[in-house]
Structure 1
Amino acid sequence: MMRNTILFDLDQTLLDKHQTLLHFAARQYKLFKLSTYVEDRELFITEFTRLHQIVMPKKEVYQKIRLQFSLQHALMEAMLEDLNHQFPKESVAFPGLTRMLNELKQKHFKIGIITNGRDFYQRNKIDSLGITSYMDVIVTSGELGIKKPDPAIFLYGLGKLEVQPEQAIFVGDDLTKDIVPAKSLGMRTILMGSHQVNPDIDTNCVHLDEVVKAVEQLRY
C-alpha cells in the first residue's frame, strides 16, 4: 500500500525549541529590565533555557527562576503572563521547514501535526512558523485530553484524514512518545535529530532537508 500521509511532531521536530527559548529569554531580560536583579545576562538566559526544557508546569519553572534570581513575586507573575501570550510569537523553525513542506505538497501528500501541549499554545506556535496553511489536520493533546504516546491521539489524527496507519509516515524526535507508538500502529517512522540505531526506527534524519528523500524511500 502506498503511503500518502505524513504526520509530524512539533517541538524539536519542526520547531527549534532551544533557539526559541534563547530568543525569548533575551526578550524577557530586556523587557522586564532584569539587569536590576541579574547583572549577568548570559547566566539568566542559560538558566531560563535550562529550566524551561524540564517537563514541569510553567508556574513552577518561574517559581524556580524567581527564587534563583531573587525576583519579586509580582514580577514573576508578569513574566509568566507574558510567556503565555507572547512565547509562541518567538517560535524559531529548524532550517528548511517551508521548503520541505512545499516539496511534500507538490508530491500530493496529506500533511498533519500531532503534538503534546496546550491547544492555543501549540496552534499559535504553528501560526507563528507560518505553516498552518500546509496542514490538513492539527491535533493537540490539550484539545483531546490525550497525550502521546497514547495510540488514541495518533488514531484520532489518522481518522480526521480518513487514512489507515499503513498509509502514513510519522516524523518525530522522541523515540518513546513518537516513534514507538506510531510504529506499533503500523505507520513507518522517521526519527529526527539523531542517527540512533533501534529496531523501532525505520530511518533517521538529522536535518529537515533530508526528510523528503527519506519519505520517498518509505513510501512503498
Structure 2
Amino acid sequence: MKHLKHIFFDLDHTLWDFDKNSGLTFESIFKKHHVELNLSEFLPVYEPINAKYWKLFRENKISKEDLRYARLNEAFEVLNFKAEPNLVIALSESYIEHLSDFNHLFPYAIETLEHLQETYQLHLITNGFRSVQYRKMKSSRIINFFKTVTTSEDVGVKKPDPAIFNHALDLAKASKNESVMIGDNLEADIEGAEKVGMSSIFFGKDNTFEGKSIQCLSELKHIL
C-alpha cells in the first residue's frame, strides 16, 4: 500500500459501536413505552434478525419501512411478546429518533483517525440512512475527520453495488489504486470494494477470510 492516499471507512460496526449503542437505545425506549422485556433475552434474538433484514434491504428486497417494522415485529414474535402494530411502529420510530443519543465508538477510534489524517485523506461510505448517520457522526465527534461522506441514500444504491464505491471515489477525487476500504462486512465492504479494484481491510474475525484483516483499530497505525 505504498501509493495509498485515501482511506474509506464504513461507520456502523467499524468505527461506531452499533451493538452497544443500539442496546442502550432499546433500554431507553422500552422504559419510555413501558415494554416489559428483559434486554438480555431480547438483544440476542433481535441482533441476528436485524442482520437478516439489513441483508434483504441491501439486496433491495424490502423497503426502509419494512426493515424498521419487520425486524422488531419478528423479534417480538420469537419471544412470544404480544405487541400491537401501533406499538411496533411507535418503537421503530422512537428507536431511529434516539439511536444517535448514544455515541460509543470502538476502542482507539479517535486516536487512530487522528493518526491517519496526518498522512491520508479520510472518507466514509455507509449504507445507513443519511440523517441518522450524520447525527451519529456529529454526536460522537468524528464527522470532521472525513473529507467526504457517501451514503446509500445519496447514490440510490447500497454496498456492495459498484456504483456507490465509484460515486465515493469520484466525490473524493481519488483513484481506486490509491484507495483502501475498511469495514466489518465481508460482502458489503470487502467484496464490494474489491469489485471496483480498491484494496480492502476487514475489521473483524472470520476464519474463512484470507485477506488483510484487523481486530482492533489501533492495528491500522502499523499496517498503513
| Same topology, TM > 0.5 | yes
Whether 1:64 aligns to 2:95 is: no
Q: Output the CA distance in 1 between the equivalents of 2:182 and 2:4.
A: 13
State which of 167, 185, 188 in structure 2 corresponds to 1:174.
185
Q: Output the CA distance in 2 between the equivalents of 1:43 and 1:197.
A: 30
* 1:13-44 deviation per Cα after TM superposition (whole angstroms, max 9, x unaligned): 11222212221221122222223xx4x45323
* 1:136-182 deviation per Cα after TM superposition (whole angstroms, max 9, x unaligned): 01001112111111111111111111111011111111222211232
- Report the counterpart of residue 42 of structure 2 in structure 1: 44
Q: Output the CA distance in 1 between the equivalents of 2:24 and 2:50.
A: 13
State which of 194, 204, 214 in structure 2 corresponds to 1:205.
214
Q: Does structure 1 conserve the Cα–Cα contact (< 8 Å) formed by 2:7 and 2:122? A: yes
Q: Output the CA distance in 1 between the equivalents of 2:153 and 2:176.
A: 22
State which of 27, 51, 54 in structure 2 corresponds to 1:53.
51
Whether 1:146 aligns to 2:157 is: yes
- Report the counterpart of residue 106 of structure 1 in structure 2: 118
State which of 194, 199, 223 in structure 2 corresponds to 1:214.
223
Q: Please give the secondary structure, in 2, of the residue aligned with 1:69.
A: coil
- Gap change, CA 1:76 and 1:168, over 3 Å in 2: same
Q: Please give the secondary structure, in 2, of the residue aligned with 1:130.
A: coil
Whether 1:129 aligns to 2:140 is: yes
Q: Please give the secondary structure, in 2, of the residue aligned with 1:147.
A: coil
- Report the counterpart of residue 12 of structure 1 in structure 2: 13
Q: Output the CA distance in 2 between the equivalents of 1:183 and 1:138.
A: 19
- Report the counterpart of residue 88 of structure 1 in structure 2: 100
State which of 171, 175, 193 in structure 2 corresponds to 1:164.
175
Q: Does structure 1 conserve the Cα–Cα contact (< 8 Å) formed by 2:117 and 2:145? A: yes
What TM-score do you get using the length of structure 1 for normalisation?
0.85
- Report the counterpart of residue 218 of structure 1 in structure 2: none
The answer for unaligned runs of 5 or more in structure 1 is 216-220
Q: Return the letter of the residue paired with 1:140.
A: T
Q: Please give the secondary structure, in 1, of the residue aligned with 2:52.
A: coil
Whether 1:186 aligns to 2:184 is: no
What TM-score do you get using the length of structure 2 for normalisation?
0.84
Q: Return the letter of the residue paired with 1:47.
A: V
Q: Displacement, 1:120?
A: 1.3
Q: Output the CA distance in 2 between the equivalents of 1:53 and 1:163.
A: 31
* 1:157-209 deviation per Cα after TM superposition (whole angstroms, max 9, x unaligned): 1111111101111111122221123223332211111264645x2x1100111
Q: Does structure 2 conserve the Cα–Cα contact (< 8 Å) formed by 1:3 and 1:167? A: yes
Q: Return the letter of the residue paired with 1:78.
A: A
The answer for unaligned runs of 5 or more in structure 2 is 55-66
- Gap change, CA 1:214 and 1:120, over 3 Å in 2: same
Q: Return the letter of the residue paired with 1:104.
A: L
Q: Percent identity?
A: 24
Q: Does structure 1 conserve the Cα–Cα contact (< 8 Å) formed by 2:181 and 2:200? A: yes
Q: Output the CA distance in 2 between the equivalents of 1:54 and 1:128.
A: 27
Q: Does structure 2 conserve the Cα–Cα contact (< 8 Å) formed by 1:119 and 1:140? A: yes
